[in-house]
Amino acid sequence: MFWRERAQIAGPILTADLKETETMPEIQMREAIRQAMDEEMARDGNVFLLGEEVGQYNGAYKVSKGLLDKYGERRVLDTPIAELGFTGLAVGAASVGLRPIVEWMTFNFALLALDQVVNNAAKLRHMSGGQLKVPIVFRGGNGPAEYLSSQHSQALQSYFVHVPGIKVISPSTPYDAKGLLKTAIRDDNPVVMFESEMTYGLTGEVPEEEYLIPFGKADIKRQGSDVTIISFSKPVHMVLKAAEVLAEMGIDAEVVDLRSLRPLDEKTIYASVAKTNRAVIVDEAWPMASVGSHVGWLISRNCFDDLDAPVELVASEDVPMPYNHTLELAVQPTVEKIVAAVKRVSYKE
């Protein structure tokens, strides 16, 4: 499948080349994330999970199903609906040697815990002169869903990408989710993992062998020669559909999945743009001060002589998310909007 064809695998214990097999199981995104947590909890007794409904309810999206029964209440902790409180508890635990995984039911609720993430988790190592490590993972559902209106349907990556001291990942496939999360749990720094609520049921091939995916490595999901389309998380699948439509028009699109937002794989971005001479970025967040707008600036600054057209950004409209489903879909990126942007940079309108 496309996410396996050019997957970048690395790690101290793993295979640098997983072989193509006919028996590789297909599992849902939620199961890939659960496997990563399960394997790391089994490997390291300092790893524990806490959050709202992660235990007895098996997680709001059933991501932690079975972990309470397997590891018990000391390592799978149901918390009150108090994000600032249990996030602060986890930051303290990380600073004394434990490895917490904090599940926010949704990143919309993570806004209540920003002080602990930005002023404590991200800065303790710096402010202690390296004496303290903060090996903690913050994860949960993010981005537009359906019928959730403006307070519960937001893509908030740029809030965290903005902050030095935090690593940020946002996978689009089960394969990437498992490999990136295992890397995150082993990292000695705070890592934020954004999981699209709409992709928990997405299925994809995930090898049974253990593997890690390093941070700072984008993945080319589709090779192309005419235009580079850059995205991450759920919109990657929309971009791949747009690439099929464009192929019928005679436009060969290369699709770059960032996967890691901080650190960012600028090398892969620039190499792709140098090959195609055109760039379209797709980000389901608002356009101002977003990951997409930052990548657009990087390309305009560092690939200026390679570009044959201005960089295009396809983002959500700069409005709160409507509740009405027709309007909700209208404000987000679509295949049609992506195709139109590619036609503009290709001067084929």
What are the residue numbers of the active site? Answer: 83, 152
DSSP 214-277: -TT--EEEE--SSEEEEE-STHHHHHHHHHHHHHHTT--EEEEE--EEETT-HHHHHHHHHHHS
Distances (CA, A) of 266 to 60, 93, 113, 269: 35, 34, 30, 5
Assess contact for 86 and 79: CB atoms under 8 A: yes
> Radius of gyration of the chain from Cα atoms?
20
Cα angle 43, 45, 51 (rounded to 5 degrees) comes to 105
Coil, strand, or helix at residue 298? Answer: helix
The 227-231 sheet, strands edge to edge? 219-222, 253-257, 227-231, 279-283, 312-315
Coil, strand, or helix at residue 65? Answer: coil
Pair of tokens at residue 230: 């850059």
Cα angle 149, 284, 264 (rounded to 5 degrees) comes to 140
Residue 257 dihedral angles phi and psi, to the nearest 5°: -100, 115
